[in-house]
């Protein structure tokens, strides 16, 4: 057979072709134009060679495939935008043809007249799972490494290579819709229960089992291509359909508030596709996919949640001329909730940790946090006792600073008190080598001021985690005025080692994330004071795309903490730095009503004992005269939330606190869930255009105050017709610049 760059093809004595996908220049197989071309040639060869009785496709890597290389989609979108102004009809036709390439190739495979079996040995995502669904047989290895999903909706698109048509023809329609609209990940057992996989076998038997399916007479015809095929859940127009579709539409609306066009398109594809023959259904899917590819949401989400996220995870901001260093040992000072969480994620990455607290009992309590987290994973079947013991063996809990000797990174996570942090810094530096890096996990105190306690400020940096550490994927790396490149490089290497996403932020009060979050909360305080009913405030925020309402978020972080931050801000910056109305509201909540947030069961919400659910405190209605709900513009409330956060992100860029728009966007989504469909804070502005955003901000400023005043940077961008991704184009991100 012909030689291929990305595949090997071996035909055995039984006439079964084993096609092994193993891209030489990638750690994971992905679909590129070359891969598609080679696969088409292989499909033609299998179909046209009488000696071949059937084909098995598997991977030569630990994973099967991550699906399509979304930079290929970005390129297709770039071509569309370049062409559309010259000839829109031609551009759309070209986009339509490109959108259907994979779909019709899989259709060619399943109607080739030869049986195909997919032998799924590891992660199988997106287009790769759609390829597997087009195969006549599917065998999955019985291992936790096998994860199957059609996750495209999470990056603003949907499974456009037959996924919306094959899944509901194989699985119960309710489960099919849930999987498609949420991007749900399936293990082998769940996939088999849904009818998406035929067999589960031991990994070593995977290829043999796949070949046996063909030898046992696997039909080279899909069930939907056979006469008399019946849908698993019955016809769309039936009693079962009447019970499915109206609630499905309502649930999607409740979950997305109409912010995700791709999720809505999935429902349309499935509904319309199940009414017509399969080839017509694929054309319907292709049309919707072409439409969604043109949406602002798809462009923004692909850029931020795939391309930029990957680039940041690969160390896009790491100093290139500093050699990588292996982390031999990491010290964590402070075994409270944050310190214990940092120790856990460090040990989980296989790095030895010394966890220090004031006495042995406190240090042991911090280590017990890791044991509890592992117990939860064991209970869910996601870890073993042996893995728990191995992780705990990497954590040394102690009050003895001498055990830090040999650590090349120490992370301080003691109380937010400069004096306590100074003492911890001095004790650690007395033991550490001069080349070791010292990091503070402070969330409020500027790194430059903390570095004054250090004898080597070039090696002093901020590594700011978010709570809970084990679940939050973002880490802010804070540069003090004297922080050097070696400190930045090691901090980046550490954050990547623990599999979190780093963003680099220059030193300022609140850094980047907290500055934006505080604006979000403060706007809610203003709304309460104006008499906007609390339920409208929370619901408007969720309708705008925020995962948690601002009042609920204040409760989670603690109202008395908000009070402390306000008072400290006044001490540092003067009375005018805090809105006196906000101070009075928070003082009343804490001092007069004793409401500190979730931690004491009383905040903006009441937290009754389970199984009762939390609910907004009725006393909020009595704090300020209430407006009539019907006179309040909900769209304006939504705009206020998104605009106040985005304006703060623009100020941060203007001040040079964040210098890369990728970090501002990705950081805002990962840290506090800023409306993912927008692509992040700066993409939200770019998406509507600087001029339209400035007009919006000025209108809100006139009605609601100076927090909506556009910074000079935005006014300049309007004059020059710039976007954030053109003005601050990241290094080596030419494609990003073009797409913006």
- Chain centroid to Cα 155, Å, comes to 9
What token pair was written down for 638? 């939504």
pLDDT: is 145 or 737 the higher one?
145
Please list, in sequence order, all residues whose beta carbon lies within 8 angstroms of the beta carbon of residue 352, skipping any fewer than 6 positions away: 328, 329, 330, 394, 396
Q: What are the respective helix, strand and coil percentages of the chain, to the nearest 5? A: 55, 10, 35
Whether 501 contacts 474, CB under 8 Å: yes
pLDDT tens-digit readout, 473-513: 999 999 999 999 999 999 999 999 999 999 999 998 778 99
- What pLDDT score does 733 carry? 42
Question: CB under 8 Å to 531, separation ≥6 — which residues?
Answer: 624, 625, 626, 627
Mean pLDDT for the stretch of residues 306-330: 91
Which single residue is written with the structure tokens 């009762």? Answer: 612
Mean pLDDT to the nearest integer, 6-26: 95
pLDDT digits (tens, 9 = 90+) for 229-263: 999 988 999 999 999 999 999 999 999 999 999 99
Q: What is the pLDDT of residue 739?
A: 33
For residue 325, the tally of other CB atoms under 10 A from its CB is 15
Task: Tell me the pLDDT tens digit for each residue of 383-420.
Answer: 999 999 999 999 999 999 999 999 999 999 998 888 99
Residue-wise burial string across 158-184, b where 16 or more C-beta atoms lie within 10 A, e elsewhere:
bbbbbbbbbbbbbbebebbbebbbbbe
Please, which residues bridge with residue 274 across strands?
none
Question: CB of 287 within 8 A of CB of 276?
Answer: no
How far is CA 264 from each of CA 97, 177, 297, 540, rounded to the nearest angstrom? 22, 11, 13, 20
Q: Which two tokens stand for residue 203?
A: 């990994």
Residue 433: partners with Cβ closer than 8 Å, 6 or more residues away? 406, 408
Angle (CA) 389 390 395, round 5°: 90
Among 343, 449, 311, smallest CA distance to 733 is for: 311
Beta-carbon count within 10 A of 697 CB: 23
**Is residue 596 helix, strand or coil?**
coil
User: For 417-434, how does the pLDDT look when each residue is reduced to its tens digit (9 = 90+)?
Assistant: 889 999 999 999 999 999
pLDDT digits (tens, 9 = 90+) for 508-559: 877 899 999 999 999 999 999 999 999 999 999 999 999 999 999 999 989 9
Residue 730 DSSP symbol: P
- The H or E element containing residue 258 is none
Exposed / middle / buried, residue 104 (Cβ in 10 Å: 0-12, 13-18, 19+): middle
Please tell me the predicted confidence (pLDDT) of residue 737.
34
Rounded CA gap, 666 and 660, in Å?
A: 10
Q: Taking residues 189-197, what's their average pLDDT? A: 96
Q: Under a CB-based contact definition with an 8 Å cutoff, are residues 444 and 421 in contact?
A: no
Active-site entry in 136, 369, 464, 596:
464
SS3 544: coil
Residue 79 has pLDDT above 60, yes or no: yes
Query: DSSP state, 30?
Result: -
Over 80: is that where the pLDDT of 563 sits? yes
pLDDT for the residue 734: 35
Contact 213, 137 (CB under 8 A): yes
Domains of the chain: 7-294 (3.90.226.10), 330-509 (3.40.50.720), 514-734 (1.10.1040.50)
Mean pLDDT computed over 570-593: 93
Q: What is the DSSP letter of 50?
A: T
Map tokens 């913006």 to a residue: 740
Helix (H) or strand (E) holding 131: helix 127-134
Q: What is the mean pLDDT of residues 456-485?
A: 95
Quote the pLDDT of residue 731. 63
Q: Which residues pair with 138 in a beta bridge?
A: 118
The answer to which of 80-89, 318-327, 584-593 has the lowest mean pLDDT is: 80-89
Cβ-based neighbours of 95, under 8 Å, separated by 6 or more = 76, 80, 290, 293, 294
Of 80-89, 448-457, 638-647, the range with the lowest mean pLDDT is: 80-89
Q: Which of 499, 467, 471, 497 is nearest to 373 (CA)?
A: 471
Asked whether 141 and 199 are in contact (CB, 8 A), the reply is: no
pLDDT tens-digit series, residues 676-721: 999 999 999 999 999 999 999 999 999 999 999 999 999 999 999 9
Closest by alpha carbon to 266, among 184, 196, 342, 347? Answer: 184
Cis peptide before 611, with omega less than 30 degrees from 0? yes
Q: How far is CA 146 from its chain centroid?
A: 20
Q: Is the per-residue pLDDT at 740 higher than 50?
A: no
Residues 6+ away with beta carbon under 8 Å from 572: 509
Residue 464 bears catalytic tag: yes
- What's the length of the chain? 740
What is the structure's pLDDT at 445? Answer: 85
Q: What is the pLDDT of residue 325?
A: 86
Average pLDDT, the chain: 93
Mean pLDDT of 133-154: 96
Buried-state track 131-147, b at ≥16 Cβ within 10 A, e below 16: bbbbbbbbbbbeeeebb
| SS3 call for 395 | strand
Distant-in-sequence, close-in-space partners of 229: CB < 8 Å, separation ≥ 6: 169, 223
DSSP string, 561-585: HHHHHHHHHHHHH-GGGS-HHHHHH
Give me the DSSP letters along 160-224. TTTHHHHHHHHS-HHHHHHHHHHT--B-HHHHHHHTS-SEEE-GGGHHHHHHHHHHTT--SS-GG
Distance CA 155, CA 308 (A): 12
Whether the Cβ atoms of residue 352 and residue 329 lie closer than 8 Å to each other: yes
Q: How high is the pLDDT of residue 382? A: 86
d(CA 402, CA 411): 15
The 3-class SS string of 358-380 reads: CCHHHHHHHHHHHHHHHHHHHHC
Q: Give the confidence band of 2 by pLDDT, cuts at 50, 70, 90.
A: low
């Amino acid at each position: 057979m012909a030689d291929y760059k990305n595949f090997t093809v071996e035909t055995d004595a039984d006439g079964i072709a084993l096609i092994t996908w193993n891209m030489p220049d990638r750690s994971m197989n992905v679909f590129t134009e070359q891969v598609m071309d080679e696969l088409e040639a292989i499909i033609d060869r299998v179909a046209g060679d009488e000696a071949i009785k059937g084909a098995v496709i598997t991977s030569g890597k630990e994973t099967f495939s991550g699906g399509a290389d979304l930079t290929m989609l970005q390129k297709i979108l770039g071509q569309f935008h370049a062409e559309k102004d010259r000839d829109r009809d031609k551009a759309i036709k070209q986009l339509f043809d490109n959108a259907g390439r994979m779909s019709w190739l899989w259709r060619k495979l399943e109607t080739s007249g030869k049986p195909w079996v997919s032998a799924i040995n590891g992660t199988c995502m997106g287009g790769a799972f759609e390829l597997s669904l087009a195969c006549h047989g599917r065998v999955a290895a019985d291992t936790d490494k096998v994860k199957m999903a059609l996750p495209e909706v999470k990056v603003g698109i949907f499974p456009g290579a037959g996924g919306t048509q094959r899944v509901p023809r194989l699985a119960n329609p309710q489960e099919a819709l849930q999987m498609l609209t949420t991007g749900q990940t399936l293990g082998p057992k769940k996939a088999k229960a849904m009818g998406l996989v035929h067999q589960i076998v031991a990994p070593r038997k995977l290829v043999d089992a796949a070949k046996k399916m063909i030898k046992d007479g696997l039909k080279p015809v899909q069930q939907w291509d056979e006469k008399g095929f019946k849908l698993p859940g019955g016809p769309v127009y039936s009693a079962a359909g009447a019970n499915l579709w109206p609630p499905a539409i309502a649930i999607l609306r409740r979950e997305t508030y109409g912010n995700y066009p791709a999720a809505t398109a999935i429902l349309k594809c499935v509904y319309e596709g199940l009414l017509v023959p399969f080839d017509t259904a694929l054309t319907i899917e292709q049309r919707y996919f072409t439409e969604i590819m043109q949406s602002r949401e798809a462009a923004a989400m692909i850029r931020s949640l795939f391309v930029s996220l990957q680039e940041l995870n690969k160390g896009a901001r790491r100093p290139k001329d500093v050699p990588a260093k292996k982390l031999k040992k990491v010290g964590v000072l402070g075994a409270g909730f944050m310190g214990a969480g940092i120790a856990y994620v460090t040990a989980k990455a296989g790095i030895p940790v010394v966890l220090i607290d004031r006495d042995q009992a406190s240090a042991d309590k911090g280590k017990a946090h890791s044991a509890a987290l592992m117990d939860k994973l064991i209970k869910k079947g996601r870890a073993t006792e042996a893995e728990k013991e191995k992780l705990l063996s990497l954590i040394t809990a102690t009050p003895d600073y001498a055990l830090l000797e040999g650590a090349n990174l120490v992370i301080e996570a003691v109380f937010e008190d400069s004096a306590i942090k100074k003492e911890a810094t001095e004790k650690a530096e007395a033991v550490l080598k001069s080349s070791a890096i010292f990091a503070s996990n402070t969330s409020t105190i500027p790194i430059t001021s903390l570095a004054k306690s250090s004898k080597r400020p070039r090696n002093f940096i901020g590594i700011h985690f978010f709570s809970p550490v084990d679940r939050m994927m973002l880490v802010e790396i804070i540069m003090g005025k004297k922080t050097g490149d070696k400190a930045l490089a090691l901090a980046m290497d550490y954050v990547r080692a623990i599999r979190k996403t780093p963003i680099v932020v220059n030193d300022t009060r609140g850094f980047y994330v907290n500055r934006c979050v505080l604006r979000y909360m403060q706007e809610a305080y203003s709304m309460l004071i104006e008499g906007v009913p609390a339920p409208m405030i929370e619901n408007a925020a969720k309708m705008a795309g925020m995962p948690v309402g601002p009042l609920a978020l204040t409760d989670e972080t603690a109202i008395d903490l908000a009070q402390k931050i306000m008072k400290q801000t006044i001490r540092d910056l003067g009375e005018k730095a805090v809105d006196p109305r906000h101070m009075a509201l928070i003082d009343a909540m804490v001092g007069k009503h004793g409401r500190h947030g979730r931690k004491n069961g009383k905040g903006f919400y009441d937290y009754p004992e389970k199984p009762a659910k939390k609910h907004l405190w009725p006393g909020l209605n009595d704090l300020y005269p209430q407006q009539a709900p019907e006179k309040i513009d909900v769209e304006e409330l939504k705009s206020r939330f998104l605009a106040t956060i985005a304006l703060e992100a623009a100020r941060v860029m203007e001040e040079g606190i964040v210098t890369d728009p990728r970090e501002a966007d990705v950081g805002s989504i990962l840290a506090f869930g800023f409306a993912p469909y927008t692509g992040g804070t700066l993409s939200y502005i770019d998406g509507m255009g600087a001029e339209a955003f400035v007009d919006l901000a000025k209108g809100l400023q006139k009605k609601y105050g100076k927090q909506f005043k556009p910074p000079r940077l935005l006014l300049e961008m309007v004059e020059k017709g710039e976007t954030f991704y053109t003005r601050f184009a990241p290094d080596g991100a030419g494609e990003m610049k073009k797409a913006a």
